[in-house]
């Protein structure tokens, strides 16, 4: 095992790129070596704030630098696949922002490429490392919920259609989708992760675009809401609700930026139910239902814990928590939600099998 600092390059200097850079500053075993950013003023601001050794005008130049060991891809969604594939081909470990790719078939290629080259592919899902998620997971691992049979996964906003540089969020060819691939993926992953990542087997879903009047971008051809019912091989089910825009009722609290907003997850087990917001355990105690407010054990930074897990995986100290296999399952669920939405039928999830290689 090498003791040299892992040299990390950040690709894309928007909000997530800045979060990854911030936490790298706190990690002794790694160095923020470089940043690739096409927008020169953004790159300069990033350099002044986070002090990487090098700035590159685009990601391909960063990937050509042999000094870089690992990259963090924070590009618009349609560039995740080409940048991650090019990074793996250049021998770099990859931490890629969500969504992992635009679809499952792209993710199969990345999984194969990483495995063939013995490199780490890791998809960013910092919420898995949040104080409440870690405590909920620990209670579930202690079997406090008993057998899990149902989960509600919710991320809804009343007025929250994102813009992004160049309006790519609302254009299907560059984003891969709307509310579902942007925020629904977080809610779905939270529920699926707490359930123990069971194998998805079928999806029934509906997707909608109802709020064209809220969008200034030139193109708006993605969904602003999606609703799905997903079955797993172990018999458990998830109900997912997500929206960028909806006329939400007043039990959804007012958020800071996007009107009414709720990002929540509730996992139902035979012995107890756990809800993330407000963080509570609803437990059967000798036949009576008892509500128990929960307090997370610490307030550690989820981006930092995620980065530490990625770096430990790069050094071979621990397996990656957010691995390529799980990224593929997530993309299969998203593909099936879009297909079910467009056909109006329940869609079986056929495993995208490993390709020969
Ligand atoms: N984990 C989270 O909570 C979270 C939050 C927000 C966004 N994201 C994800 O992060 C990604 C980026 O989102 P964003 O909001 O920062 O978008 P953004 O459009 O604000 O930023 C993307 C950046 O990439 C740069 N870029 C584009 N092409 C490039 C190239 N060839 N080489 C180098 N730089 C290039 C752009 O100039 C821009 O600064 C998205 O995939 C999004 O889904 C994740």
CATH number at residue 208: 3.30.360.10
Looking up tokens 């990002």 gives 263
Q: Is the pLDDT of residue 355 over 50?
A: no
Adjacent-strand bridge partners of 240:
153, 228
For residue 173, give its domain range: 128-299+333-343
168 and 288, same domain (yes or no): yes
Q: Whose CA is nearest to atom 32 of ligand 1?
A: 58
First to last CA, the chain: 28
Q: CA torsion sign, 54 to 57 to 58 to 63?
A: negative
259 and 137, same domain (yes or no): yes
The reply to whether ligand 1 has any atom less than 6 angstroms from the CB of 15 is yes
122 and 156, same domain (yes or no): no
What pLDDT is recorded for position 168? Answer: 92
Task: Calculate the CA 34 to chain-centre distance.
Answer: 23
Residue of 10, 13, 15, 96 best suited for mutating to test ligand 1, as the one with most atoms within 8 Å of CB: 15
Q: Is the pLDDT of residue 284 over 90?
A: yes
Q: Is the pLDDT of residue 205 over 90?
A: yes
The answer as to whether 181 is a domain residue is yes
204 and 105, same domain (yes or no): no
The answer as to whether 36 is a domain residue is yes
> Which candidate, 356, 337, 355, places its Cα nearest to that of 347?
337
268 and 311, same domain (yes or no): no
What pLDDT is recorded for position 163? Answer: 74
235 and 251, same domain (yes or no): yes
Q: Whose CA is nearest to atom 6 of ligand 1?
A: 16
The reply to whether ligand 1 has any atom less than 6 angstroms from the CB of 16 is yes
106 and 132, same domain (yes or no): no
The answer as to whether 218 is a domain residue is yes
Q: Whose CA is nearest to atom 4 of ligand 1?
A: 16
What value does the mean pLDDT of the chain take?
96
The reply to whether ligand 1 has any atom less than 6 angstroms from the CB of 40 is no
108 and 176, same domain (yes or no): no
Give the pLDDT confidence of 304-318 residue by residue, as tens digits.
999 999 999 999 999
Using the mean position of ligand 1's atoms as its centre, give its distance from the Cα of residue 202 in Å.
Answer: 31
Residue 353: pLDDT band with limits 50, 70, 90 = low
106 and 134, same domain (yes or no): no
Give the pLDDT confidence of 181-200 residue by residue, as tens digits.
999 999 999 999 999 999 99
Q: Which two tokens mark 269?
A: 């087990």
Adjacent-strand bridge partners of 267:
151, 274
Distance CA 188, CA 297 (A): 24
Distance CA 75, CA 77 (A): 6
Using the mean position of ligand 1's atoms as its centre, give its distance from the Cα of residue 292 in Å.
Answer: 39
Task: Calculate the CA 231 to chain-centre distance.
Answer: 20
CATH at residue 112: 3.40.50.720
Helix (H, G, I), strand (E, B) or coil at 69: coil
Q: Is the pLDDT of residue 11 over 50?
A: yes
Q: Is the pLDDT of residue 242 over 50?
A: yes
113 and 29, same domain (yes or no): yes
Rg (CA), the chain: 20
The answer as to whether 203 is a domain residue is yes
DSSP string, 262-300: EEEEEEEESSEEEETTTTEEEEEETTEEEEEE---S---
The answer as to whether 94 is a domain residue is yes
What pLDDT is recorded for position 165? Answer: 73
Helix (H, G, I), strand (E, B) or coil at 26: coil
Give the pLDDT confidence of 125-160 residue by residue, as tens digits.
999 999 999 999 999 999 999 999 999 999 999 999
What pLDDT is recorded for position 167? Answer: 87
Taking the model in full, what pTM does it have? 0.96
Residues 6+ apart with CB under 8 A from 10: 17, 20, 21, 32, 34, 35, 36, 46, 52, 71, 72, 74
What integer is the mean pLDDT of 153-171? Answer: 91
What pLDDT is recorded for position 216? Answer: 87
Distance CA 54, CA 70 (A): 14
Using the mean position of ligand 1's atoms as its centre, give its distance from the Cα of residue 344 in Å.
Answer: 32
What pLDDT is recorded for position 166? Answer: 79
Q: Is the pLDDT of residue 356 over 90?
A: no
Q: Whose CA is nearest to atom 24 of ligand 1?
A: 12
Least confident range from 5-9, 60-64, 245-249, 353-357: namely 353-357
């Amino acid at each position: 095992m090498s003791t040299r600092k892992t040299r990390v390059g950040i690709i894309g200097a928007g909000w997530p790129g800045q979060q990854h850079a911030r936490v790298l500053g706190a990690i002794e075993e790694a160095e923020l070596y470089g940043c690739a950013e096409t927008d020169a003023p953004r790159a300069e601001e990033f350099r002044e704030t986070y002090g990487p050794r090098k700035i590159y005008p685009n990601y391909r130049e960063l990937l050509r630098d042999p000094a870089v060991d690992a990259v963090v891809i924070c590009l618009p969604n349609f560039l995740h696949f080409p940048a991650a594939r090019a990074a793996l081909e250049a021998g770099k470990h990859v931490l890629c922002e969500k969504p992992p790719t635009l679809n499952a078939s792209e993710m199969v290629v990345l999984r194969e490429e990483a495995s063939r080259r013995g490199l780490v592919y890791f998809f960013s899902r910092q919420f898995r490392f949040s104080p409440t998620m870690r405590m909920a997971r620990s209670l579930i691992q202690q079997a406090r919920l008993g057998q899990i049979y149902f989960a509600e996964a919710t991320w809804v906003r009343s007025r929250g259609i994102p813009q992004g540089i160049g309006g790519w969020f609302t254009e299907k060819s560059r984003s891969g989708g709307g509310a579902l691939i942007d925020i629904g993926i977080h809610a779905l992953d939270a529920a699926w992760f707490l359930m123990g990542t069971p194998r998805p087997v079928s999806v029934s879903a509906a997707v909608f675009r109802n709020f064209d009047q809220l969008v200034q971008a030139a193109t708006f051809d993605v969904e602003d809401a999606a609703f799905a019912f997903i079955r797993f091989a172990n018999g458990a089910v998830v109900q997912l609700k997500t929206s960028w825009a909806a006329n939400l009722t007043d039990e959804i609290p007012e958020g800071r930026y996007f009107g009414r907003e709720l990002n929540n997850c509730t996992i139902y087990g035979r012995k107890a139910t756990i809800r993330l917001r407000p963080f509570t355990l609803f437990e059967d105690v000798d036949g009576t239902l008892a509500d128990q407010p929960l307090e997370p054990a610490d307030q550690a930074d989820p981006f930092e814990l995620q980065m530490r897990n990625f770096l430990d995986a790069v050094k071979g100290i621990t397996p990656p928590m957010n691995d390529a296999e799980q990224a593929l399952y997530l993309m299969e669920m998203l593909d099936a939600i879009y297909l079910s939405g467009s056909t109006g039928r329940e869609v079986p999830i056929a495993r995208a099998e490993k390709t020969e290689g």
